[in-house]
């Protein structure tokens, strides 16, 4: 994967990275709405 990223000019790596960031942000927003991030990240019940 590293060789592919360094040797090609294909924007696929940037697209995959943006998708991973967007999915992570959506998951964090969903967890905040459902459970509250304090309980999820800190572990308080």
Residues 26-45 pLDDT 10s: 999 998 898 887 777 787 66
Rounded mean pLDDT, 10-18: 86
Structural contact between residues 23 and 29, judged by C-beta atoms closer than 8 angstroms: no
Q: Retrieve residue 34's tokens.
A: 């459902």
* Cα atoms in the Cβ-side hemisphere of radius 13 Å centred on 30: 6
pLDDT for residue 3 is more than 90 = no
């Amino acid at each position: 994967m590293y060789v592919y990223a360094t040797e090609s000019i294909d924007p696929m790596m940037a697209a995959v990275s943006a998708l991973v960031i967007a999915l992570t942000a959506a998951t964090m927003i969903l967890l905040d709405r459902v459970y509250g991030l304090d309980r999820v990240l800190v572990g308080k019940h």
